[in-house]
Amino acid sequence: MSILFSPIIINKLALKNRIVMAPMCILMSDNQGFVKEFHHIHYGARAIGQVGLIILEATSISPEGRITDADLGIWNDLHLEGLKELCDTIKKHGAKAGIQIAHAGRKSRIPNTAISCSNVVVDDRYSAPREMTLKDIATVQDQFISSVKRAIKAGFDVIELHAAHGYLINQFLSPITNHRKDDYGNSPENRARFLKEILARIREFYTGVLFIRISASDYKKEGLKVADYIKLFKEIDNVDFVDVSSGGIVDGLEIKAKAGYQVPFSKTLKKHLTIPVGAVGKINKAKQAENILQQNKADLIFVGRALNRNPNWAIQAAYDLKEEIDLPKAYKVSF
Ligand SMILES: Cc1cc2nc3c(=O)[nH]c(=O)nc-3n(C[C@H](O)[C@H](O)[C@H](O)COP(=O)(O)O)c2cc1C
């Protein structure tokens, strides 16, 4: 049997295979962050397509934390009903459901509301962010906590904190974007404080599955590198899984994104950490995914654009690997 189609348990959660739909904004909400029919069809199709775990797109903890005004939101109890129904749709069709909890910080495209740890603008496509006061920091941390509580109420099996791609938590972590001189900046320990306080507070009420997505490299000499994250995760013992991406702190870099380009990062983290890790980025073929797992470079394979192109990517992968999987009744005849 392939590893790709073997089950795995992560903090009591059993996944039927190692295929994860990577969080991907689809910009199909209204300007209030509500779930629409398209979300049900889009995510439901990937559940029918036998993805083991589907992680919903970056879902914002506040209106100003959205990347765009078509992002999903989780800042209001009114969002709960739609999110619960969407979660149920995914689970009804045999996948586990996760949600990525996010705040865009200075990378928000909502005009004139952006906040960040420092007042450094990305470029002229964005509004200049207002530097967060200590009160703002406490407020945004509260928003993360309330949003996680809503995600639990909605029934998600996995909660993923978005600490990657140059969004707010990543902005605090990286010396490129964090120029603070107080307790939330000026040293690696202080830059990690914003994240660590959120994690500690989540663990006061949540024992379920907690993922974190990181950017293992800023691709800049003065930025964060995978070694910094090894150090960080030696101090963080309250997440269940690290989803290893890269980039996004500095826009417009020419990154050579060849097949599996981020796998070296997950491989390095896996070697140094005891918690499981995920690989993502141009992993488009079943054999490629299987090799990554066999070579112990990751525990789960996150698939993004290939799943947007083909909702049945996982079924095709099983076919390519000659795996007999439990297909939905509708497809049993045709395979
Ligand atoms: C349209 C699109 C939207 C994305 N939205 C998110 C997102 O909401 N959160 C996130 O962490 N990554 C996001 N990503 C990055 C993907 O999760 C993934 O890491 C990236 O596409 C590389 O994987 P792939 O080569 O399999 O597509 C997005 C990527 C695309 C193409």
pLDDT at 333 over 90: no
Say which residues have a Cβ less than 8 Å from residue 181's Cβ, sequence separation at least 6: none
Whether the model pTM is above 0.75: yes
Enumerate the domain spans of the chain: 8-332
Secondary structure (3-state) at 4: coil
The count of other CB atoms within 10 Å of the CB of residue 163 is: 28
Q: Evaluate whether 9 touches 48 at the Cβ level (below 8 Å).
A: no
Cα(58) to centroid of ligand 1, in Å? Answer: 10
pLDDT at 169: 98
Cα(308) to centroid of ligand 1, in Å? Answer: 10
Tokens matching residue 237: 């013992």
pLDDT at 2: 98
Tokens matching residue 234: 């030696």
Say which residues have a Cβ less than 8 Å from residue 271's Cβ, sequence separation at least 6: none
pLDDT at 247 over 80: yes
pLDDT at 334 over 70: no
What are the φ and ψ backbone dihedral angles of 270, each rounded to 5 degrees?
-60, -40
pLDDT at 335 over 70: no
Q: Evaluate whether 277 touches 244 at the Cβ level (below 8 Å).
A: yes
Q: Evaluate whether 153 touches 80 at the Cβ level (below 8 Å).
A: yes
Secondary structure (3-state) at 116: strand
CA-proximal residue: ligand 1, atom 18 (nearest):
304
Q: Evaluate whether 71 touches 60 at the Cβ level (below 8 Å).
A: yes
Distance of alpha carbon 86 from alpha carbon 128, whole angstroms: 35
Residues 268-286: tens digit of each pLDDT: 999 999 999 999 999 999 9
Give mean pLDDT, residues 120-128. 93
Q: Which among 94, 73, 85, 195 is positioned nearest to 137, based on CA atoms?
A: 195
Q: Which among 259, 307, 221, 297 is positioned nearest to 44, based on CA atoms?
A: 307
Q: Evaluate whether 88 touches 42 at the Cβ level (below 8 Å).
A: no
Most distant CA pair in the chain: distance in Å? 64
Distance of alpha carbon 223 from alpha carbon 138, whole angstroms: 26
Ligand 1: lining residues by beta carbon, under 6 Å: 22-25, 57-58, 100, 162, 164-165, 213, 245, 280-283, 303-306
pLDDT at 308 over 70: yes
The count of other CB atoms within 10 Å of the CB of residue 261 is: 16
Amino acid at 120: V
Percent residues over pLDDT 90 in the chain:
95
Distance of alpha carbon 253 from alpha carbon 221, whole angstroms: 13
Residues 201-241: tens digit of each pLDDT: 999 999 999 999 999 999 999 999 999 999 999 999 999 99
* pLDDT interval class at 122 (50, 70, 90): very high
Residues 31-52: tens digit of each pLDDT: 999 999 999 999 999 999 999 9
pLDDT at 254: 79
Q: Under CATH, which number does the domain 8-332 receive? A: 3.20.20.70
Tokens matching residue 331: 């497809």
Say which residues have a Cβ less than 8 Å from residue 294's Cβ, sequence separation at least 6: 3
CA-proximal residue: ligand 1, atom 26 (nearest):
304
Say which residues have a Cβ less than 8 Å from residue 326's Cβ, sequence separation at least 6: none
Residues 1-22: tens digit of each pLDDT: 999 999 999 999 999 999 999 9
Give mean pLDDT, residues 294-319. 98
pLDDT at 181: 98
CA-proximal residue: ligand 1, atom 14 (nearest):
24
Tokens matching residue 325: 């999987």
Distance of alpha carbon 102 from alpha carbon 162, whole angstroms: 5
Q: Which among 86, 12, 23 is positioned nearest to 53, based on CA atoms?
A: 23
* pLDDT interval class at 156 (50, 70, 90): very high
Distance of alpha carbon 99 from alpha carbon 125, whole angstroms: 28
Cα(332) to centroid of ligand 1, in Å? Answer: 31
DSSP state of 143: H
Give mean pLDDT, residues 82-106. 98
* pLDDT interval class at 255 (50, 70, 90): confident
pLDDT at 251: 85
Q: Ligand 1, residues 20, 21, 24: which to mutate, most atoms within 8 A of Cβ?
A: 24
